[in-house]
Structure 1
Amino acid sequence: MPPQRKRNPNGAGTITQRKDGRFQAAVYVLQPDGTRARKFAYGKTWAECDVKRRELLTKVDQGVPVPTRSAKLSEWLPYWLDNIVKPHRKRTTFAKYEIHVRLYLVPLLGSKRLESLGVADVRRALAQLQKKNSAATAKESHRVLRTALTAACREELVSRNVATLVEPPKVDSREMDPWSLQETLDFLAAARTDPLYPAFVIAIALGFRRGEIVGLRWENVDLDKREVRVRTQRQRVGGEAYEDDPKGRRRRQTLPLPGICVAPLRWQRMKQAAQREKAGDAWEETGYVFTTRTGRPIEPRNVYRSFTRVAKDAGLRVIRLHDARHGTATLLTAAGVPPRVVMEILGHSQIAVTMNVYTHVVQDTQREAIGHMDRLLRRRHDRL
């Protein structure tokens, strides 16, 4: 029998010997719902049991939940969102995950416990989602569930991630049909009289995303050196507008400012100065390049509305403002810029994304070249 040991301080748990000879550790631990409950661990020796007790106490100190029984998905998923996703991911990511958890995963799988969740359960849920909604929704829900279960594995709540064993639904990729070089030039010509013309030039010439446009500050624009620094973007999630870091490779990126952007930005600065003087005390100095008549940052959706209106009035195909970034690839590719440089300018995180656009543009260029050759051969053939 081991020698008598001092009593552990309050909250440090206890170790006792059972009638069957094994040792039992008891520690109050945090539950996924925020409450506390007693958790037991067992060992053949006192020392083995003490190691398990210390592991439990470490999780208590770190605020990691250790359920006394396997938590239900309806308990784990909200906890995962609030304590793992929310502090470490972007608000837009949290909002997207929250929708899939609330509308799809909890209603379909919420009653299942983590340890009892099986491959068949996940497969049936995805099949229902695909039938009632779409393959794209089912695929995204699968990704959210897989990410949540990966976190559960890290917390040692489950021993395996069953979502990784289920093949996600196949989704037909959206056919990329960006504006051609001529369509891009036609749009810029039609947008010259629009108040947001400088924003459209930046979107097309530098591939700025909508949030990067409305989040651009004058302190990050150097018209003399012809440089622009990408430091912030503005988003609106759940009715709240906020400032965030740029996406992917855009973080801390400094880009040369094309000559086509300089004059519109100078005009924007002069127009803003006139608006500031006219607004007087009503002016709110925010430092943004694109603002309302009183200096407040413009809404991201208003940029898209103006973009769509100009395209319609010009008789052009209406595409997403985000797809106008492909117009940047069109211009750069037509100028002979290599894909890797295009990738850096657009801020793509993977070269595969750039190549998808690049290949499409190259095909258009090839068709145009073949057309020139065909016309040349026809003229020579007619002369013979």
Structure 2
Amino acid sequence: MASQRKRNPNGAGTITKRKDGRYQAAVYVPQPDGTRARKFAYGKTWAECDAKRRELLDKADKGIPVPTRSAKLSEWLPYWLDNIVKPRRKLSTYDKYEAHVRLHLAPALGAKRLEALSVSDVRRFLARLERQTTAATAKEAHRVLRSALSSACREELIMRNVAKLVEPPRPTPRELSPWSLDETLSFLSAARKDPLYAAFVLAIAMGLRRGEIVGIRWQDVDLENRMLLVRQQVQRRRGILYEDETKGRRSRAVPLPAMCIAPLRWHRIRQGEIRERAGDSWKDTGYVFTTRTGRPVEPRNLHRSFVRVSGSAGLRPVRLHDARHGCATLLTAAGVAPRVVMEILGHSQISLTMDVYTHVVQDTQREAISHMDRLLKRRPSRE
């Protein structure tokens, strides 16, 4: 007499034989909305059905949702944000994705089930969003949707990512018009007595991002060897000032131009005087650019000071971030290789450096190709 199979322990599911000869496994699995429901799997043999049962249990143990029916986007997107985006991405990235989900994706596509979402649904959504907002907003919403559906594919909730089959909108590139060399020198002259003068010099001469400038600590500055280690940035999100990784999630050591050394030395002396006046109220955070009590400067206040100084100098208004563009423009015009410009600015891809500063690269190419006229100019004939 064949021995009966042992019953699975509680919570491990059950396997029964159906009247049609197939085997059926039943397991309680988590749903995208946080509840649990019974999921069925089928196999021609007991072993095949048991393998599917074990696969379902493995997903349940890892907390991966296995919907008993095709989940709606309104169910999947919040789960994706909280369990996939939040633990792995920057807070700023999470906030941007959450805004697109809340404002655009969920209202327009939330009622659609993952498996029922079609290419035409995505195309119509993007066209409508572009009409209502901008092409740049529609393009970013497409990127968020594509990422969410890619995660659903990896978790085997859907078989294909329809967002990848739709070409995103093409926003008109923002026309860059950074300061000229004369305008830059006029700004530096006007900012010389400003408490944040050293920060402005770093922005213009090295193209540092606003958060990177505020996030510099004295331990990252080597004035003797003229080196700066850019390894963090300071950001404000949800009313909290916090330290985060750099945009590319990697540190970079950059040589300090000679023009940055004296402003940084002067700034360190001035900070020491402020520390003495603050007394017990001073908080030693180690930041280079601080308030009167030692706390890091607000990134937005750095931009406000930049705008105030440029206005007092009678210069046309530009963003502090445009100083970064100006740095790359001057470096490229001076003949610095794009790969070197990329490393200095901390771009993640060389294509970004090339795309943003194409006009400068073209001017440099035009000057270089003009040498061909001189090299290949026909020699005068000898009589």
Q: Is the pair's TM-score, using the shorter chain for normalization, greater than 0.5?
A: yes
Match of 1:296?
Answer: 295
Where do 4+ consecutive residues of structure 1 move more than 4 Å? 362-369
Distance 1:324 1:8, change over 3 A: same
Cα distance in 2 for partners of 1:33, 1:59 equals 16
Equivalent position amino acid for 1:253 in 2: R
Contact 1:180 1:330 in 2 (8 A): no
Change (3 A) 1:68 1:223: same
Kindly state the Cα deviation for residue 326 of structure 1 after the two structures are TM-superposed: 1.8
* 1:134 paired residue number: 134
Contact kept in structure 2, 1:284 and 1:295, CA below 8 Å: yes
CA distance in 1, matches of 2:353, 2:119: 35
Matches within 5 A, 1:79-98: 79-98=79-98
Aligned 8 A contact 1:329 1:357 in 2: no
Kindly provide the CA deviation profile for residues 81-127 of structure 1, in whole angstroms up to 9, marking residues without a partner as x.
Answer: 00000000111110100000000100001111111111122122212
Partner in structure 2 of residue 37 of structure 1: 37
Question: What is the identity, as a one-letter code, of the residue corresponding to 2:344?
Answer: I
Q: Name whichever of 23-32 and 308-317 sits farther off.
A: 308-317
Equivalent residue, structure 1, for 2:375? none
CA distance in 2, matches of 1:141, 1:3: 58
Amino acid at match of 1:119: V
Take 1:368 and 1:360, find their aligned partners in 2: how far apart are those partners?
13
Q: What corresponds to 2:325 in structure 1?
A: 326
Corresponding position of 1:216: 216
Residue in 1 that maps onto 2:372: none
Deviation at 1:363, TM superposition (A): 5.1
Name which of structure 1's ranges 85-94 and 169-178 shifts more when overlaid on structure 2. 169-178
CA distance in 1, matches of 2:34, 2:47: 30
Partner of 1:120: 120
Q: What's the counterpart of residue 377 of structure 2?
A: none
Q: Alpha-carbon deviation of 1:52? A: 0.5
**Within 5 A, what are the aligned runs for 1:267-346?**
267-346=266-345
The 8 Å contact of residues 354 and 361 in structure 2, kept in 1 or not, is answered as: no
Q: Which runs of 5+ in 1 are unaligned?
A: 370-384
- The worse-fitting range, judged by mean Cα deviation, of 330-339 and 271-280 is 330-339
Q: Is the 8 A contact 1:181 1:330 kept in 2?
A: no
In 2, Cα distance between equivalents of 1:128 and 1:224: 57
Shift of 1:2: 8.1
What secondary structure, in the 3-state scheme, does the structure 1 residue paired with 2:156 have?
coil
Structure-to-structure mapping, 1:174-323, within 5 angstroms: 174-248=174-248, 251-323=250-322
Paired AA for residue 340 in structure 1: R
AA in 2 matched with 1:85: V
1:90 aligned partner, one-letter code: K
Code of the aligned partner of 2:253: T
User: 1:339·1:358 contact (CA, 8 Å) conserved in 2?
Assistant: no
2:339 corresponds to 1:353: no
For 1:127 and 1:96, the matched residues in 2 are separated by: 21
Give the Cα separation in 2 of the matches to 1:116 and 1:287.
Answer: 54
Is the deviation greater in 309-318 or in 277-286? 309-318
Q: 2:150 matched to 1:150?
A: yes
Query: Is the Cα contact below 8 Å between 2:285 and 2:295 reproduced in 1?
Result: yes
Distance 1:266 1:74 in 2: 55
Deviates more, 1:317-326 or 1:349-358: 349-358
How many Å separate the matches in 2 of 1:117 and 1:359? 39
Superposition RMSD on alpha carbons, in Å?
Answer: 2.0
Distance 1:366 1:59, change over 3 A: closer
- Secondary structure of the 1:65 match is coil
Report the Cα distance in structure 1 between the residues aligned to 2:50 and 2:365, rounded to whole angstroms. Answer: 72
The CA distance in 1 between the partners of 2:237 and 2:170, in whole Å, is: 29
The answer (yes or no) to whether the contact 2:335–2:364 under 8 Å persists in 1 is no
Q: How big is the shift at 1:3? A: 5.4
Alignment length, in residue pairs?
369
Pair 351,200 (structure 1): closer, same or farther in 2 beyond 3 Å: same
In structure 1, give the amino acid aligned to 2:140.
E
Per-residue deviation, residues 213-253 of structure 1 (Å, max 9, x unmatched): 111001111111211111110111122211111111x7221
Deviation for aligned residue 1:334 = 4.1
State the secondary structure of the residue aligned to 1:263. helix
Q: Partners in 1 of 2:238 and 2:154 — Cα distance?
A: 30
Change (3 A) 1:57 1:120: same
What's the secondary structure of 1:234's corresponding residue?
Answer: strand
Report the AA paired with residue 63 of structure 1.
G
